[in-house]
Amino acid sequence: MRLTFKIRSLSGALVSLFIAFCLTACAIGGDGTVSSKPSAVAVASAHPLATQAGLDVLAQGGNAFDAAIAVAASLGVVEPYSAGMGGGGFWLLYSAKDDQYHFVDAREMAPSAADKDYYLNKDGTVNRDRATNGPSAAGIPGQAAAFAHLAGQYGQLPLAKSLAPAIKQARQGFAIDDHYRKLLSYRLEAVRRYPSSASIFLNSGQIPDVGYKLVQRDLATTLEALARAGHDGFYQGPVAQRLVTAVQRDGGDWTMEDLANYKVVEREPIRMAFGNAELISAPPPSSGGIAIAQMLQMLDLYHWQSMSEADQTHLLIEVMRRAYRDRAEFLGDPDFVDVPTAMLLDPARAHAYADSIDMTKATPSLSLKGPKNIEEGFHTTHLSVLDKDGNRVSATLSINLPFGSAYTAAGTGVVLNNEMDDFSAKPGAANAYGLVGNAANAIAPGKRPLSSMSPSMMVSDDQVAILGTPGGSRIISMVLLGLLEHQQNKPVEDWVRRKRIHHQYLPDVVEYEPGALSQALQQELKARGHTLKNVGRAYGNMQAILWDRTTNKVTAAADSRGIGSARVVSVAK
């Protein structure tokens, strides 16, 4: 027997798809009767040195876009395990000058030598080592191109000024902390395999002690080349030649043409109304924006805020299950596959999915008949920035696994990503569940792999929320939970510290952080047929900013699960 619940009629649904090029008048968040400029600037990032770099650039007259470059470049120095010049990312921007949202896709691209069988052994099995370790695992990085693009199209300062803090940190060094040691231990054997990495990140072949000064002179020189020549300083000339020479010598297939052909792509953000607010999030090749929008659509058809804890948790699991099912089947690089965005965000689909949820028992994932989701590297990073004019940035950056491929291109200081592992290495083959892998995310030359990175904003007439997090395939569910905290008028600190649950369709398991589910709630969920798994550790590292335009107060928070820093600095009147 189903529990009864109220679903709003389709004609009265508050959820509708916003096309990003619609008239400004149809969007929420432009200047109104509330404050059009914040009383303070804010930077939230995963490392205190990176947050300070962003504030320094703002103090020098830079805007949010200049500051975001500074933060990201610094993170590439002080968090070499999370992001950097050898990786890429997604940048969600709001420009106050033209009252427009922009999305910059700086995701890595497959080299021209890669194809759908790139990681298959002669017997048809996947060569996991080649797909995750060394230069063969690396896509063409987009980070440097993103810096040049943001500085040229949106910034107020020369790129060199925004990169200056990172260059100084790389050349002079910084003291490592226990977080560095922990993540290096996770990839220690892989880092030891490559002398160019071991000589930088280890101390005589061992994990350095806390306080050890990590100096990256070659990386400083590479950043200086980018500062002088912009995009071409990385993708052409001596830096590019050093990258290609090292990669080809050590088993990879990059060419000078691969680097020269790399460009960022500006795409239309996902935009959707939710209650009295608007979600703005990442479009494909991110799977995040569509999945988050789908989950919000389904939730909006229920009185989710007034539900019991057990009902609300059950409902969250079920909407996650359905959104992740669609993620597995339909999403990929829109330059290569036809992503049915309108169909996925059609209110009729949300109604059908909502109507299929039985509030008394779990839906077996296999009954939804979709392919298995790919696994993603979990150690990414995120930054959020708000400036005095209301410009804002939400950016999620990655090299995939901690220390990426564990390979540093000699003479460059650039740790290469292993984002090629985010492709479906063997689409068309049945997995352990008897389901077929996602051909939409198959490897192809010049293609960008699907990603869960979900830099997001939620904007209403009176509030602006900026947030995102690392965490692999769990990013999407974490951002959803953060947005729901915001929608319940919780302070920004609650968004980032909320205990997390996750369901990604397959495996058919509810994962949860220690302390996220009480014993009573666990028993109730099990009684409804859910399989639960305590992951045994905290996960995620959300960075968030809230601008309340009715009070003109700005608050920010860094996730206590990490070592990050969120700073708010008042604007002089």
Backbone angles phi, psi at 529, to 5 degrees: 100, 5
Q: How many whole angstroms separate alpha carbon 6 and alpha carbon 124?
A: 50
The answer to whether 408 and 200 are in contact (CB under 8 A) is: yes
Closest C-alpha among 254, 267, 263 to residue 420: 254
Closest C-alpha among 109, 221, 216 to residue 163: 221
Q: Write the DSSP assignment of 105-173 as a string of letters.
A: EE--B--TT--TTTTB-TTS-B-HHHHHSSGGGPPBP-HHHHHHHHHHHT-SS-HHHHHHHHHHHHHH-
Amino acid at 370: G
Which H helix or E strand runs over 267?
A: strand 265-267
The answer to whether 542 and 500 are in contact (CB under 8 A) is: no
Q: Write the DSSP assignment of 288-309 as a string of letters.
A: HHHHHHHHHHHHHTTTGGGS-H
The torsion of the CA quartet 200, 201, 207, 208, rounded to 10 degrees, works out to: 70
Residue 283 burial (C-beta neighbours within 10 Å; 0-12, 13-18, 19+): buried
Q: Which two tokens stand for residue 30?
A: 């432009």
Residue whose tokens read 């100096």: 215
Indicate the pairing of strand 532-534 with strand 510-512. parallel
Rounded (5°) CA angle 331-291-402: 75
First to last CA, the chain: 62
Q: How many whole angstroms separate alpha carbon 266 and alpha carbon 283?
A: 10
| Residues facing residue 392 across a β-bridge | 94, 386
- 380 catalytic? Reply is yes
Given 51, 222, 380, 469, which residue is catalytic?
380
Q: How many whole angstroms separate alpha carbon 566 and alpha carbon 544?
A: 8
The residues assigned a catalytic role are 380
